[in-house]
Amino acid sequence: MDPRDFLGIDASLSAEERDIRDAVREYARAELQPHVADWYETATLPARELAKGFGRLGVLGMHLEGYGCAGTSAVAYGIACRELEAVDSGLRSFVSVQGSLAMYAIHTWGSEEQRERWLPRMAAGEALGCFGLTEPDAGSDPASMRTRARRDGSDWVLDGTKMWITNGTVADVAVVWAQTDEGVRGFVVPTDTPGFAANEVKRKLSLRASLTAELVLDGVRLPADAVFPEVRGLRGPLSCLNEARFGILFGTVGAARACYEAALEYVLSREQFGHPLAAYQLTQRKLADLVVEVNRAGLLALHLGRLKDEGSLHHSQVSFGKLANVRAALDVARTARSLLGANGISLEYPVMRHMANLETVLTYEGTEEMHALSLGQAVTGIPAFRVG
C-alpha cells in the first residue's frame, strides 16, 4: 500500500499517462519546487522563462491537436495539472490560462489564419496569452459585461475594462470578449495595439505566484479579421471555461495531496507529550479524513477524465467535479494546516500557501455557488440564478 496513492489510482493510468506524470514531476522537482515559495513571497513570477520551460516540456495546449501541440488524452492533461498544482495553484493557473482558455479559444473558435498565427508560438511558450471575460462589475454574471466592440468601416473598435485577468501584464495576445450588435463575440487582440493597457493587481493574499491584471481597452482599433468568425453569445467563453474547470478538478487533487503529505510527514516526526503527534487518536482521525478526501477527489477526477476522453462528459458533471474537488482540497488544506501547528502558518511549509491559493480556486472559473446552482438546475430542471 502506497500512502501517496492509497487506492492505487495511478495503476490504471496508461504507460503514456504515467510517463507524462513522471516528466512533470521531474521537471517540477528540479525547476519549480525550489523557487515557488520565493515567487509566492515576493509576488513575482519569471513568466517568460517559465513559458519557455513549459513550452519545451510540451504542457502548453498539450491536449489540443496540431499547431505544435502534443495532442494528449484529457486524462494526461489532467494528470499534468495535478502534478503542477501539487507545487502551486498559481503554476497550474499559468498553464490553464495559456492552454485551456487562450489557446483553446483560438483553436476552437478562431479562423485558420488566427490559429496559424498564434498557436505554434503559444505551444512553444514563445508567445503568452490571456483571457479577458470578467469585468469590475460583471463576474458571475458575464452577460452583464460592458465592454463593447463597435464597427467602424470594416474595423472593430473596443472600449471597456477587464478585471482579474491572469497573465494580463505579460501577454502578447489577449482573447477579449465584448458586446456587439450580434451579442457577445470574441476578439484576438495583440497587446501592442494602441489603446491597450494592462495594470498589475497588487496586494493579493492568494495566488501570489501568479500575475493578475486589469486590462484597459481605450479605443482599441482592430482589423475585421480579429474577431472569431462564427461563435456568438456566451457559448464561446463558457466552452473555454469548461475546459479550464476540467484542469481545476484534477489540479486541486494535487494541492490536496501535497497538503496531506506535508501533514503526514510532520506528525510522524514532531513529538509532544513524549510521543509523535501521529500516535494520538485525534491526529489519526484527521489523517484518515485527509486520506479519504484526497483519494475520493482523485477517483472523481479520473472518472470525469475518462468520460471526457470518451466524449460523453456533460458540463454539469464538470461543475460537480469543480465544486466537489475544490471543496475537498480546501478542507484538506485547513485540516493539514492545523496539524502543523505554528509551522502551519509559515511559508517554510507548503500548506498555508496552498490553503490561501485555494480561496482563489474556489472563486474563479465559476464560484462554488455558481456550480451549486448548476447542479441544482441539473437535478431539478429549475434555474435559480436570477431573482424573479
Partner 1 sequence: MTNIVVLVKQVPDTYSERKLSESDHTLDRESADAVIDEINERSVEEALKIKEAGEGEVTVLCVGPDRATDAIRKALSMGADKAIHVSDESLHGSDMLATAKVLAAAIGKVEGVDLVIAGNEASDGRGGAVPAMLAELLGLPQLTHVRQLTVEGGSVKADRETEEGITHLEANLPAIVSVTEKINEPRYPSFKGIMAAKKKPVETLTVADLGVDSGEVGLGNAWSTVLEASPKPPRTAGERVEDDGDGGTKVAEYLVAQKLI
Ligand X SMILES: Cc1cc2nc3c(=O)[nH]c(=O)nc-3n(C[C@H](O)[C@H](O)[C@H](O)COP(=O)(O)OP(=O)(O)OC[C@H]3O[C@@H](n4cnc5c(N)ncnc54)[C@H](O)[C@@H]3O)c2cc1C
Binding at 76: pick from partner 1, ligand X, none (beta carbon under 5-8 Å per type): partner 1
**Is 323 within 8 Å of 299 (Cβ atoms)?**
no
59 binding partner (options partner 1, ligand X, none; Cβ < 5 to 8 Å by kind): partner 1
CB 59 to partner 1: min, Å: 7
The whole-angstrom separation of Cα 299 and Cα 253 is: 9
Question: In the bound complex, what is the minimum distance in angstroms from residue 155's beta carbon to partner 1?
Answer: 38
* Residue-by-residue DSSP string for 329-373: HHHHHHHHHHHTGGGGGSTTSSHHHHHHHHHHHHHSSS-HHHHHH
Which residue number, 76 or 227, has a Cβ lying nearer to partner 1? 76
- Is 159 in a helix, a strand, or coil? strand
Q: Does position 44 bind ligand X by CB under 6 A?
A: no
Measured from the CB atom, is 71 or 183 closer to partner 1? 71
Q: Which residues of 264-289 are buried (b: 16+ CB within 10 A; e: fewer)?
A: bebbeeeeeeeeebbeeeebeebbee
56 binds, among ligand X, partner 1, none (CB under 5 to 8 A by kind): partner 1
Question: Of 218 and 385, which has the nearer Cβ to ligand X?
Answer: 385
CA-based torsion, 135, 240, 352, 278: positive or negative = positive
Residue closer to ligand X by CB (options 47, 279) is 47
Tell me, residue by residue from 196 to 215, as one string, x for binding to ligand X by CB under 6 A and - for no binding: -----------x----x---
Region near ligand X per CB under 6 A, out of 70-78, 134-142, 185-193, 282-290:
134-142
Alpha-carbon distance 71 to 82, whole Å?
A: 18
As a whole number of angstroms, the distance between CA 109 and CA 379 comes to: 30
Rounded distance between C-alpha atoms, residue 282 and residue 273, angstroms: 14
Active-site choice (135, 214, 293, 365): 365
Does 385 help bind ligand X (rule: CB under 6 A)? Answer: yes
CA dist list (Å): 31 to 3, 34, 53, 384: 25, 7, 9, 45
Q: Could you tell which of partner 1, ligand X, none binds residue 32, using a CB distance below 5 to 8 A set by kind? A: none
- CB closer to partner 1, 59 vs 222: 59
Q: Of these, 166, 252, 317, 374, which contacts ligand X (CB under 6 A)?
A: 166
Between CA 376 and CA 388 the distance in angstroms is: 17
**List of residues 6+ apart from 313 with CB closer than 8 A:** 246, 304, 307
Least separation in angstroms between residue 273's CB and partner 1 is 25
Q: Which amino acid is at 216?
A: V
Per CB under 8 A, residues contacting partner 1 are 15-16, 19-20, 23, 26-27, 56-59, 62, 70-72, 76, 80
Asked if 340 and 351 touch (Cβ cutoff 8 Å), the reply is yes
Q: Which of partner 1, ligand X, none sits in contact with 251, Cβ below 5 to 8 A by type?
A: none
The yes-or-no answer on residue 348 being catalytic is: no
Question: Which region among 47-55, 228-236, 279-287, 360-368 touches ligand X (by CB under 6 A)?
Answer: 360-368
57 in Cβ contact with 23 (< 8 Å): yes
Shorter beta-carbon distance to partner 1: residue 21 or 315: 21
Question: What residue ranges bind ligand X (CB under 6 A)?
Answer: 97, 131-134, 139-140, 164-166, 207, 212, 360, 363-365, 367, 369-370, 385
**Catalytic residue positions, numbered:** 365
